[in-house]
Structure 1
Amino acid sequence: MIFGTADFFGGLATRRSKVLAVVVLSQLGGLLLVAALLPLLPGHASTAALAWGMASGVAGAFGIVLFYRGLATGMMSVIAPTTATTAMAVPVVFGLLTGDRPSALALAGVALGLFAVLLVSREPNGGANGPKAGPILAALVSGAGFGGFFVLLKLAPADSGTWPLLGARIASITLVALLALATRRSLRPVPGSLRVTFAAGVLDMAANVLYLFAAQRGMLTLVAVLVSLYPASTLLLARYVLGERLSPVQITGVGFALGAIALIAAA
């Protein structure tokens, strides 16, 4: 649930400030946290650990930029489960391609998740004006980025500890900063957004640390899917803090998305 809380704070920050500024500053907060944890947690530095971490950081950077953009322009309670469903599907597909044979229950969960995306992306007015393609597309692509992030971190040596996350943050901060420079976007935060931005980054890194240790000790498909339960906390915060309301069809879709994750986790 830490991922979901971090996403909520990141969405709030993006509504107040510019996307690239929020991404860089939040990732900087995460970098400071993982640097502080390196001497305290077990793990061995290696070229492979940093390389896989940097590769995951590239995927994660694209994911987080699009995700925060989606949160800023769409409803959090729609974007979060849509992203999570896609992020959940990528490790499952990767497992299939590398020889895993998920059970019928897991495959049913993937199918249910895809159906959930169709439902949750409908407009609250019943779809008379059609879905907002921009935020939904951003959510789908960002989910693919997050799924790639999970897979690539899993490929790092099992004894590397949190060193891959150091590489991931260095790569993501560098990439987004270069993108801001190339597009002449300011990285200066809007007054009043700094605290929530850093909170998002610190919480996101804390969740990443927990995920990495779980993935190093368990099955990728199971761990990544369990991580994808995070929209529950995002939805609750969006409902009670922002007052977001969903249509009955969207509520059904959100339920299906969470149900899909539960099916795969139980497989």
Structure 2
Amino acid sequence: MVTILALGAALSYGVADFLGGTVTRHSSTLKALFWCVPVGLAVLFGSALLTGRVPTATSLTWGFAAGLAGGAGLMTFYRALARGPMSVVAPVSALASALLPIAVGVARGERLDPTVLAGVLICLVAIGLVSMEKSDGPVERSGSPLDNGPLMAGVSGVCFGLFFVLVKAAGTGGGLWPLVAARAGNLTVVAIAFAVVLARGGLPGTGVSGRRLIGLAVLSGALDASANALYYLAVNSGLLSLAAVLTSLYPAITVLLARIAYSERLRAVQRLGLALAATGVTLVTIG
């Protein structure tokens, strides 16, 4: 069950990222997020109400902390893209986000079957290869050695990995309410970033307008919320290390959709990554 749920989360995250990326092509990251995040919050809030479960202070605290980590990771990731080539930033972030939950899981005593372990290791390689893309434009330079693409990519990956770990820590006692708290944490980070950018002179790019763009933003937010729920169910029905790695395969979905919708040509390294992803998932499934 954990395999199906985690792969479902990867599918939803991948589609959500593709749709969100489409919106940002016509707007800006923060303006797109200011649509997507509240929509996701509304979807999760409604779902939590329907479950009839009562939230607990502990689960809400862990959930909100997870949301802060995830939101910080997102902001740091886009900052990293401005400071370093995408071919380096994306795989470093993706691998860091998967390795942290594995380390935490192993420290907690999780042990994988040899076949499953082989599949997980292959999936890790696949995540890095699939995420390798060419940089689309010039890279900003900074005089600070702490403000560079690869380093910030690692920081963003650690933040995403913390999200995976903290969602697990929230447990199932509060139903879906930890995810509502997590989305509130996301919104808090986005709102702070929005305010800081406004104070510095405003937001670049046009607003999200028109039925098509608004529809894509709403759908992206809803799918991202669904992915959160699927991962939450996956990680609470199985091993943290397995659920996190399989969910982290979502870049493969985004890459495939870009290939179909925009006729973007897959690089040889990405095709190899997709093949390895399929192999790794197969080993995990039969293990």
- Cα distance change on mapping 1:16 and 1:150 into 2, 3 Å: same
Q: Is the 2:59–2:177 contact (alpha carbons within 8 Å) kept by the matching residues of 1?
A: yes
Q: Is the 2:120–2:245 contact (alpha carbons within 8 Å) kept by the matching residues of 1?
A: no
- Cα distance change on mapping 1:225 and 1:121 into 2, 3 Å: closer
Q: Is the 1:11–1:71 contact (alpha carbons within 8 Å) kept by the matching residues of 2?
A: no
SS in 1 for 2:19: helix
Q: Is the 2:122–2:277 contact (alpha carbons within 8 Å) kept by the matching residues of 1?
A: yes
How many angstroms does 1:25 deviate by? 1.9
SS in 1 for 2:170: coil
**Pairs within 5 Å for 1:114-129:** 115-116=125-126, 119-120=129-130
Match among 9, 26, 33 for residue 23 of structure 1: 33
How many angstroms does 1:87 deviate by? 3.1
- Cα distance change on mapping 1:136 and 1:233 into 2, 3 Å: farther
**Pairs within 5 Å for 1:172-191:** 172-184=186-198, 185-186=202-203, 189-191=207-209
- Over the aligned positions, Cα root-mean-square deviation in angstroms equals 3.6
Match among 219, 236, 240 for residue 199 of structure 1: 219
Q: Is the 1:85–1:143 contact (alpha carbons within 8 Å) kept by the matching residues of 2?
A: yes
* Number of residue pairs the alignment of both structures matches: 259
Which sections of structure 2, spanning at least 5 residues, go unmatched?
Answer: 1-10, 135-147
CA displacement 1:127-158 (0-9 Å, x = unmatched)? xxxxxxx8877765544333221210110132
**Pairs within 5 Å for 1:22-101:** 22-66=32-76, 84-101=94-111
Distance 1:77 1:168 in 2: 29
Distance 1:264 1:79 in 2: 27
CA displacement 1:51-96 (0-9 Å, x = unmatched)? 0001100111123335567899999999877755443332211111
- Cα distance change on mapping 1:101 and 1:145 into 2, 3 Å: same
Q: Is the 1:80–1:234 contact (alpha carbons within 8 Å) kept by the matching residues of 2?
A: no
Partner of 2:163: 149
| Amino-acid identity (%) | 40
Say which is worse superposed, 217-226 or 159-168, in terms of deviation.
217-226
How many angstroms does 1:41 deviate by? 1.3
TM-score, scaled relative to structure 2: 0.74
How many angstroms does 1:164 deviate by? 0.5
- Cα distance change on mapping 1:231 and 1:81 into 2, 3 Å: farther
Whichever residue aligns with residue 237 of structure 2, its letter is: R
Q: Is the 1:59–1:149 contact (alpha carbons within 8 Å) kept by the matching residues of 2?
A: yes
Q: Is the 2:67–2:186 contact (alpha carbons within 8 Å) kept by the matching residues of 1?
A: yes
Partner of 2:235: 215
Which sections of structure 1, spanning at least 5 residues, go unmatched?
Answer: 125-133
Match among 102, 115, 126 for residue 112 of structure 2: 102
